[in-house]
């Protein structure tokens, strides 16, 4: 559209120049005294009725909101006093109570003791031997020697020997009292208890 308008203006200017030149050269036989410099060519503006200038958009300034900085409160650290009971290296260590160890005072001498004693039965007098090993006032070992004359006496003495160990071995010497009948042997214990008393007296001396 701009190019067409330019051509139209140029065409009109050229036509005007041709007309002026013709008047100057042939203008009814008269010479024009008007200097060429004074000839004014009117700029004829031709408006194209189909040309309608587009409206120039005007930019509307947009107001951009500016963020206002927000001040964030800063927490001030609070110093908490720490209680120190004792300076380093000077802490008091609680004393542990050490259990008191009972010291046992031996009443009887450690060792092996031997005694022979007799007892009465329906057939006469019979005897046994008692060998006892003592350690820290306790009976550690015990052995019974069978000295019966007849077979019946030997059987009852053997029954006594087989059962007396569980009643004596491992016990404190002072805890051993009258044992009475053992395994059906009702008379052999008399000689055993007599031998036990003799060993106790010997271990104390």
Q: Chain-wide mean pLDDT for the chain?
A: 75
Checking if the pLDDT of 201 tops 90, the result is: yes
What whole-number percentage of the chain has pLDDT above 70?
A: 53
Express each pLDDT in 6-56 by its tens digit.
566 677 667 777 776 666 555 544 444 444 444 444 444 444 444 455 565
Integer Cα distance of 71 and 58 in angstroms? 39
Cα 23 vs. chain centroid, distance in angstroms? Answer: 119
Q: How far apart are CA 166 and CA 145, in angstroms?
A: 17
pLDDT of residue 158: 96
Per-residue pLDDT band at 95 (split at 50, 70, 90)? low
Phi, psi of 79 (to 5 degrees): -85, 120
Among 41-45, 87-91, 136-140, 150-154, which is the least confidently predicted range? 41-45
The answer on pLDDT for 92 being more than 60 is no
pLDDT at position 172: 94
| pLDDT in the model for residue 185 | 93
Statement: residue 78 has pLDDT above 90: no
Decide if pLDDT at 60 tops 80: no
Q: How much is the average pLDDT of 131-151?
A: 95
DSSP 93-151: PPPPPPPPPPPP--SS--EEEEEEEEEEETTEEEEEEEEEEEETTEEEEEEEEE--SSH
Which of 9-13, 78-82, 98-102, 159-163: highest mean pLDDT?
Answer: 159-163
- Calculate what percentage of the chain has a pLDDT beyond 90: 43
Span 123-135, pLDDT tens digits? 899 999 999 999 9
With tokens 């001498």, the residue in question is: 109
CA distances from 56 to 5, 45, 175, 190 (A): 20, 22, 130, 146
**pTM for the predicted model, two decimal places:** 0.50
Return the pLDDT at 161: 96
Check whether 166 has a pLDDT greater than 60.
yes
């Amino acid at each position: 559209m701009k190019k067409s308008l330019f051509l139209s203006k140029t065409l009109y200017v050229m036509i005007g120049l041709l007309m002026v030149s013709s008047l100057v050269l042939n203008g009814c036989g008269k010479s024009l005294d008007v200097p060429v410099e004074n000839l004014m060519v009117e700029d004829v503006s031709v408006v194209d009725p189909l040309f309608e200038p587009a409206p120039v958009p005007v930019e509307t300034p947009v107001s951009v909101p500016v963020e206002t900085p927000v001040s964030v409160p800063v927490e001030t650290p609070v110093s908490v006093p720490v209680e120190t009971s004792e300076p380093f290296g000077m802490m008091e260590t609680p004393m542990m109570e050490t259990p008191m160890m009972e010291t046992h005072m031996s009443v009887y001498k450690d060792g092996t003791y031997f005694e022979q004693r007799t007892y009465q039965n329906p057939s006469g007098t019979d005897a046994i031997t008692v060998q006892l090993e003592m350690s820290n006032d306790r009976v550690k070992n015990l052995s019974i020697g069978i000295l019966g004359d007849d077979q019946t006496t030997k059987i009852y003495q053997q029954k006594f020997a087989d059962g007396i160990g569980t009643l004596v071995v491992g016990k404190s010497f002072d805890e051993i009292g009258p044992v009475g009948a053992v395994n059906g042997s009702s008379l052999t214990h008399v000689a055993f208890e007599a031998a036990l008393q003799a060993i106790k007296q010997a271990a104390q001396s």
